[in-house]
Structures are given as C-alpha cells and as structure tokens.
Amino acid sequence: MQDKQYLMIPGPTQVPPAVVAAISRPIIGHRTEEFADMNRRIVERLQVVFQTQNDIFVLTHSGTGAMETAIANTVSPGDKVLALVTGNFGERFAKMAREYGADVDEVNFGWARCVDLKIVEEKLASNSYKVVLATQNETSTGVTNDIAGIGALVGKTTALLLVDGVSGVGGIEIKMDRWNVDILVTASQKSMMLPPGLAMVAVSQKAWKVVESNKSPRFYLSLPAAKKNYDKWNTAYTPGVTLFAGLDAALEMMMTEGMENVYARHKLLAKAARAAVKAMGLELFVPDDAYASPVITAVKAPEGINGDDIRKVLKKEFGVTFAGGQGVMKGKIFRIAHMGFSDKMDVIIAISALEMALSRIGHPVELGKGVKAAQQVFLGGNE
Ligand code: PMP
C-alpha cells in the first residue's frame, strides 16, 4: 500500500487526525476577533506546557528561526556567551551566537553525554557571561540535559539562560519559571504534534530588559515588534493561520490527556524502546538511562553495518522511516523517534521492523526478542 507510512523521525512527526481536521478548516483573517480569541487560548495553554507566566510568542518560523529570534534579541557584538554543547543542535546555537558577533565560550561535553553541572558551575564562577545557551533535548544524540540544574546555577548570576526546547517541549517536562529559563523556544513539528512552520518563544522579565536595549539588527525577528501586537492578541506580520488552528487542536489534546500523562507516556515509550534494543543485542548510543531522552532513542549500527543501509531496507520493505546519524555520527547510528503523536504500538512496529531489516541484511537477530522486551515493559513485567 503506497500511502501507508510509518514516520519515526524526530520531526516532522506524525500529525493526529484532530489536528489535520483543524488545519483543513477554511482560512480566517488574522486581524479578526476570531483569531485573537484563538491566539489567547493558545497562549494560555502554552503557558501550562511551558510552566510559565511569561509572554509566549507564536511565530511563523521553523525551530532555527526561533533560536535566531532568541539570539538576535539578546546577543550583540562582543558579548560573552557560554554555549553548553552536547551535539549538533548545541553546535548550531553556538555558531549562531558567533554569527551575531559574540565572544563564545563553547564547552563541548561530547556526543551521547549530557551537560556536566560541575563544569557549568566552574565556568560561571570564573567568567561573567551575558547569555548561556543550552539544549533541552539534543535530538542528534538522544540526550536530555538537566535544565533544572543548569537554571539553578545560571539563575544566581546576571546571565540569561536561553534554552532550545525544539524537540523536547510538549514531550519532556520543563518548568520555565521555576527553573530560571529566560528564553525558551520550541517548534511545531516535533513533540507538539503539528506540521512544520510554527515556532514558540517565551521571554522572562529578566530577558525583556536585555531585549529592549539589544544592539543587533532585527526586523522580522524583533521581539519588541511582536510584543506590540501580542498585547492585542495579534501578530506583527501575517501568521500561519492554518497552523494556529492546528496548534489550538493539539493543545486541546494535550490538556485533555494531562501533561503529567503526556510525559509519562513518552517515558514509557523510551523505556520500552531501550529495553528492546538491548534485548536484540544492539548497543544504545546513550548508555545511561538517567539522561537518555524520553522522545528519541539512538542506536549504534552493528559493527560492519552502515546505519543508513538498515534505514534503506526499513523504508523500502516496511515503509518505516528512522532518522540517520548527523554530523560525525553519520552512518554510525540510527535514531527512532517516539515523540508527539506516538504510542505503544508505534514502538512495537519500529522494533519489529528493525528486527526484520537486520535479518534481511544478514545480521544475526532472534526474531521477536526485541518485540517481546517492549511488550513486557508495556505489560509492566519489566519493572
Ligand atoms: N533544535 C533542535 C533540538 C532540533 O531538534 C531541531 C530540528 N531537528 C532544531 C533545533 C532546528 O529546527 P528546524 O529544523 O525546525 O529549524
């Protein structure tokens, strides 16, 4: 069946039928009461997801646009920036700050490792930074960083903490206010269950003081321009109105499920995926469950096999799409996303297809062993 696809990449992710229905409704104008009502409802619910009282701007960007919005509004040439890097997206954040002329102190904790709080503490004690950059969920490796721990340290200083929550927010708990996050950004096409095209940017009071006087050029990315319209529940420029309708529907689903349940679901999926991978005799890329991502599981390709060859068989024969390794990990790992509109059977399909693909390639695998391990987690037998 040509159309039957199992998309298991970390964005864009599968979109629930209720969201598809919402974005299929007739287009509305954005300078209308109808739009303002919807925008207010969206922001109030996003405040629940972000755990914040701060302003949250829904912008028509991809995730990178949201990251650049955070940088353009807080970083000026010559500013000292601490970049906490655990993979490809941490590197991107650091690079972006450098493009804006910042003096970037980049600390690379290594791929498949998380941010080491001791090093952050040392760095903050011996330097004065204007901005600290961190990634909540490093999609390239499947590591979730301790934003609460980082925020507790940065909150004691004058520095602003900017967090890339692009793949995590909506699937992994974050408490923006309690954890001292100053700018939190995310995008629509990952744990938020929407097609690509929207970004969400929340800004603390501490950040606003910097934003208002920041020297870097900004126009489309200007937060003060967004704020002027936000106070009327509107946007500075034409927003992706169809996607706003989808976001409204996605947030309705999240509120109905309850955020605690959303987070617990993702943790369970990760636990099952990790148990299955181990049972199959494969190696997890992130060895430690303590900082392994709830929304994506990275797996090392078996010795002598290119991960991309496994992915080709998965796609061609079973219609299953996993993500490959990025940057230095290309061909060496593959990544199974279980974020957003994902449930138990998605993991069963992913693991079952992986067993068959490995077998097809000639890698010794006992069919059903990984599936059984996942099933046992779901039945509560693997506690
Ligand atoms: N940050 C993270 C953690 C991501 O996972 C991604 C997308 N994979 C981005 C930033 C970039 O987002 P986009 O591709 O929407 O610009």
Residue 17 CB burial class (10 angstroms; 0-12, 13-18, ≥19): exposed
Say if 2 falls within a structural domain: no
Q: What percentage of the chain exceeds 70 in pLDDT?
A: 99
Tens digit of each residue's pLDDT (9 = 90 or more) over 73-88: 999 999 999 999 999 9
Structure tokens at 272: 């099952």
Is the predicted pLDDT of residue 219 greater than 70, yes or no? Answer: yes
Q: What is the pLDDT of residue 383?
A: 46
User: What number is the average pLDDT over the span 145-154?
Assistant: 98
Strand partners, 187: 199
Distances (CA, A) of 355 to 90, 260, 352: 32, 32, 5
Strand partners, 169: 172
- Rounded distance from Cα 32 to ligand 1 centre (Å): 31
Tens digit of each residue's pLDDT (9 = 90 or more) over 308-328: 999 999 999 999 999 999 999
CATH of residue 269: 3.90.1150.10
Which ligand 1 atom is at minimum distance from the Cα of 62? 15
Q: What is the pLDDT of residue 382?
A: 44
Is the predicted pLDDT of residue 280 greater than 70, yes or no? Answer: yes
Is the predicted pLDDT of residue 241 greater than 70, yes or no? Answer: yes
Report d(CA 99, CA 81) in Å as an integer: 12
Which ligand 1 atom is at minimum distance from the Cα of 140? 5
Give the pLDDT band (50/70/90) at residue 1: low
Is the predicted pLDDT of residue 59 greater than 70, yes or no? Answer: yes
Give the pLDDT band (50/70/90) at residue 2: low
Of the candidates 224, 256, 288, which is a domain's last residue?
A: 256
Residues 288 and 350 in one domain: yes
Report d(CA 318, CA 349) in Å as an integer: 10
Contact 14, 341 (CB under 8 A): yes
Contact 114, 75 (CB under 8 A): no
Residues 309 and 246 in one domain: no
Is the predicted pLDDT of residue 381 greater than 70, yes or no? Answer: no
Residues 105 and 196 in one domain: yes
Contact 70, 201 (CB under 8 A): yes
Q: What is the pLDDT of residue 217?
A: 97
Tens digit of each residue's pLDDT (9 = 90 or more) over 84-134: 999 999 999 999 999 999 999 999 999 999 999 999 999 999 999 999 999
| Residue 262 DSSP SS3 | helix
What are the two backbone dihedrals, phi and then psi, of residue 75, each rounded to the nearest 5 degrees? -110, 130
Residues 271 and 188 in one domain: no
How many C-beta atoms lie closer than 10 Å to residue 334's C-beta? 25
Residues 204 and 278 in one domain: no
Say if 302 falls within a structural domain: yes
Strand partners, 104: 81
- Rounded distance from Cα 351 to ligand 1 centre (Å): 25
User: What number is the average pLDDT over the span 178-198?
Assistant: 98
Which ligand 1 atom is at minimum distance from the Cα of 189? 15
Tens digit of each residue's pLDDT (9 = 90 or more) over 366-378: 999 999 999 999 9
Residues 94 and 226 in one domain: yes
Say if 43 falls within a structural domain: yes
Q: What percentage of the chain exceeds 90 in pLDDT?
A: 98
Residues 249 and 265 in one domain: no
Structure tokens at 335: 């990544």
Mean pLDDT of the chain: 97
Beta strands per DSSP E along the chain:
6-8, 55-59, 80-85, 103-108, 131-135, 137-138, 143-144, 160-164, 183-187, 199-203, 296-300, 320-324, 333-337
Is the predicted pLDDT of residue 208 greater than 90, yes or no? Answer: yes
User: What number is the average pLDDT over the span 7-19?
Assistant: 98
Mutation to probe ligand 1, out of 62, 136, 166, 172 (largest number of atoms < 8 A from CB): 166
Residues 251 and 265 in one domain: no
CATH of residue 163: 3.40.640.10
Indicate the number of domains in the chain. 2
Say if 26 falls within a structural domain: yes
State the residue range of the domain holding 187: 17-256
Residues 226 and 347 in one domain: no
Of the candidates 232, 256, 280, which is a domain's last residue?
A: 256
Of the candidates 236, 256, 276, which is a domain's last residue?
A: 256
Give the pLDDT band (50/70/90) at residue 4: confident
- Rounded distance from Cα 325 to ligand 1 centre (Å): 14
Tens digit of each residue's pLDDT (9 = 90 or more) over 242-274: 999 999 999 999 999 999 999 999 999 999 999
Say if 215 falls within a structural domain: yes
